[in-house]
Amino acid sequence: MSSRSVRALLSVLAGAGMVLASPAAVPANASSAPAAAAKAAVVDGCYTWNGTLSEGASGEAVRQLQIRVAGYPGAGSQLAIDGQFGPATKAAVQRFQSAYGLSADGVAGPQTFEKIYALQDDDCTPANFTYDELNNCNSDWSGGKVSAATARANALVTMWKLQAMRHAMGDKPITVNGGFRSVSCNSAVGGAANSRHMYGHAADLGAGSQGFCALALAARNHGFTEILGPGYPGHDDHTHVAGGDGRFWSAPSCGM
């Protein structure tokens, strides 16, 4: 992935915040900083965290972490992306750490961030999903029930949930047939008037090697509040997953 090809070890001042960074942005004399006042950190093409984040922290660095652990909220739950590192975020970090064989202490430090860096590309999408997959409607994410920026941001969270689900299912590819729809795109395909596709929250999944039911059942553990699959009207040929308010799961043919 491109982000992995541009990472390098640099000497930067210790801190607790998050900075946008790229190798080209580092001052030429950065390596001259006194060793006692600096530490090694990995610079990532998307976001770089310095220091550690733990319960009680807040701010944009926490919000960006929450996006990447959104797929680890626990069965039937959804993690709030609010920039507040509370007990739910700590538990999500612990599940993420356990999933990747890290020490599950709930503190996001160098090992946790290095794993995130390895999983994401320079546009902040997870390694196995792209914005193009989540938008077959238009190129600018406009025309939905929320602003284009919000729809795109919601789709990013959806992708990280799918990445967690993919890993839990043995890292087998998950086929995404569609995601965001403008109001007009939703109408053209006969979507529900209140479809979460128009908010950027939703994705429709193909059977792949897992099968529709396995996908629907697995989605319960990865932050999806709406899951519709075989046996629900109009969903025998795909599994629909979405975030957002409320919870509605129905895939009668799958026992759900």
Q: Which residues are catalytic?
A: 235
Q: What DSSP state is assigned to residue 98? A: H
Yes or no: say if 157 and 81 are a contact pair by the CB < 8 Å rule: yes
Facing residues of 205 across strands? Answer: 176, 239
Instruction: Count CB neighbours of 37 within 10 A.
Output: 9
Q: Are 211 and 235 in contact (CB under 8 A)?
A: no
Question: φ, ψ for residue 242 (rounded to 5)?
Answer: -155, 155
Query: How many CA atoms lie within 13 Å of 117's alpha carbon, on the beta-carbon side?
Result: 24
Say if residues 241 and 201 touch (Cβ distance below 8 Å). Answer: no
SS3 178: strand
Report the DSSP beta bridge partners of residue 135.
Answer: 180
Among candidates 159, 180, 203, 202, which has minimal Cα distance to 71? 159
Q: Are 177 and 238 in contact (CB under 8 A)?
A: yes
Q: What angle do CA 62, 3, 179 make, to 5 degrees?
A: 70
